[in-house]
Amino acid sequence: MAIGLIGKKLGMTRVFLKDGTTLPVTVIEVPPHVVVAIRTPEREGYSALQLGAFSAKEKHLTKPEIGHLQKAGVKLLRVLKEFRVDSVEGYQIGQEIGVADVFSPGELVDVIGISKGRGFTGTMKRWDFGGFPASHGHRYHRAVGSIGNRSDPGRVWKGKRMAGHYGAQKVRVQSLFVVDVIPEKNLLLVRGSVPGPTGGRVIIEKSSISYRKSQKLKLNRLKHLTENLVKGAQA
């Protein structure tokens, strides 16, 4: 298990390759992280690092959070996240970790975030139902249709796809290609879309499926992007 980082989605842009083609990327701001706590097998029964990021004011934190950070001797941080690691050797409380210390161009990462909330929606938008005919003579066009079957079972099964709250759920997008890392600006550029709205918090981790043959072929297919990238050319 490898360490991950906390970031903020800034939006999308494009980068240029040497042959003039453009590549759409999502920009994620990853500020310097601070090691707040270290979990060891001898004390907690597992190995992990608790990292903090994004400076905060005292009024935005609870008293237990403030006391926890002051006990560690670090500045006030808005977001704390614990990452399981194979070993905690080489880390100490108060140590700073930057984006370039964890990620590098040409690798695959998973990005976890909260998807955009769409409110209460019908089945056609929420589950991509086909709906009823739109021609004349039909009373129902976007209705859900039948949700049960006579007296047996005589109820609606759990998990039935119906209208309801759409979005605002935890989403993991797997195997995104890291196009570039800009440590001086604390930026990470990934190929593809990232869950959540602009300004939303995300978690970036090493890809959990990078060992698969399909992902190794994907890396081999995309490695030319980092080799032919024009540095500093974003639009």
Q: Do 129 and 52 lie in a common domain? A: no
Asked whether residue 218 is domain-assigned, the answer is yes
In a domain, 149, yes or no: no
Residue 151 lies in a domain: no
Q: Give the pLDDT of residue 194.
A: 94
Q: Are residues 86 and 139 in the same domain?
A: no
Residue 224 sits in the same domain as residue 184: yes
Distance CA(107)–CA(232), nearest Å, equals 20
Using 50, 70 and 90 to split pLDDT, how confident is the model at 151?
Answer: confident
**The predicted structure's pLDDT at residue 234:** 67
Let me know whether 27 and 90 are in one domain. Answer: yes
Q: What is the pTM of this model?
A: 0.86
Q: Which domain holds residue 227?
A: 5-112+169-234
Q: Residues 90, 125: one domain?
A: no
Tell me, yes or no, whether 88 lies in a domain.
yes
pLDDT, the chain, mean: 92
Q: Is residue 83 part of a domain?
A: yes
pLDDT digits (tens, 9 = 90+) for 83-114: 999 888 889 999 999 999 999 999 999 999 99
Residue 187: inside a domain, yes or no? yes
Asked whether residue 150 is assigned to any structural domain, the reply reads: no
**pLDDT in the model for residue 123:** 94
45 part of a folded domain: yes
The string of DSSP codes covering 81-119 is: EEEE-S--TT--TT-EE-HHHH--TT-EEEEEEEPPP-E
**What's the total number of domains in the chain?**
2
Is residue 231's pLDDT more than 90? no
